[in-house]
Amino acid sequence: MKQSHRIDQHGQTYDAFPDYASLAALRAWCEGLPARTAVERYLSHRRVQAQSSRGMLGRIGRRLIDIAEANGRDDLAAVFRDRYTKHARRGMNVHRAIEALRELQDREPQISDDLDLWLAPRVSLALRRMGVRTFAELTLRVPRRNRWWSEMVGIGPASAHRIEAFFLRYPALTESARRLVERSERTQRVIWSAVMVARSRDGSRGRYRAPRARCLLSVTTDREAIEAWLSLHEAATTSRTYRKEAERLLLWANVERKRALSSLNTSDAIAYRAFLRSP
């Protein structure tokens, strides 16, 4: 088992996972053995004079709660907070929770892992209902923008923060996600000339398009207007740069705002500026 360390809520360093003797004492207590007996049987060599048996076991439980919360598993943390369940049933739950936490501590998450292994059940269930089952699917399905969770049913700001914090805790997972996105973008690059736009968004009836009788351009759609504008620039480098930005704006208007480029207003312009700052 890896011997990494964490910082608890009091700023103290502790081993990432309790050792066998600590876990055995905790299990025995949860199965109904008196706290004093459980400590004398498994932890007598660590007990100092006048130290409370319940206090020792409580600290072991709190350590497991910290580990569970650090891994985004509030459901497992709740097992060690519950002091009112019958001993036999609680002992069984504690055993399962310990084994689940041990599995989390013994390995790093992989991009292909099922979300159920790492995220709290409520969060993974909400994602599963949207067809997101693995970290790979989560990486490709989640839009890369601020408030990415706002259109995801069942995912609020608190759950979104836990997911983001989870990726931050595992740099290797984050790097795998970055490479996956890069591969996906290379293979799924959108070519604007191949994008079919609904007539309501092609600009032929754009809110701010000049009436045909007064329009100085003999074009009918936003795409045709952009092509006419690009033809004014003879330098290849300039034309390529302008085309890239024009394509980006046109696709953003059609896909993100679901309207024609010639229907964008001031609020759309502000939103596009924010998008450019954090795509």
DSSP code at position 254: I
Treating both helix axes as pointing N-terminal to C-terminal, what angle do 121-129 and 157-169 enclose, rounded to 10 degrees? 100
pLDDT at position 195 is 53
Burial of 171 (0-12, 13-18, 19+ CB in 10 A): exposed
pLDDT at position 177 is 83
pLDDT interval class at 268 (50, 70, 90): confident
* pLDDT tens per residue across span 12-68: 334 457 888 888 999 888 888 899 999 999 998 887 777 889 889 988 988 888 888
Question: Residue 277 in 3-state DSSP?
Answer: helix
pLDDT at position 106 is 67
Question: In which residue are the tokens 């990486």 written?
Answer: 139
Mean local confidence (pLDDT), 146-168: 82
Beta carbons within 8 Å of 125's beta carbon, 6+ residues apart: 154
Spatial separation of the C-alpha atoms in residues 97 and 103, rounded to whole Å: 10
DSSP code at position 5: E
**What is the CB-side half-sphere exposure of residue 5 using CA atoms within 13 A?**
5
Domain ranges of the chain: 5-106, 115-187, 192-277
pTM of the model: 0.39
Contact (Cβ atoms closer than 8 angstroms) between residue 213 and residue 235: no
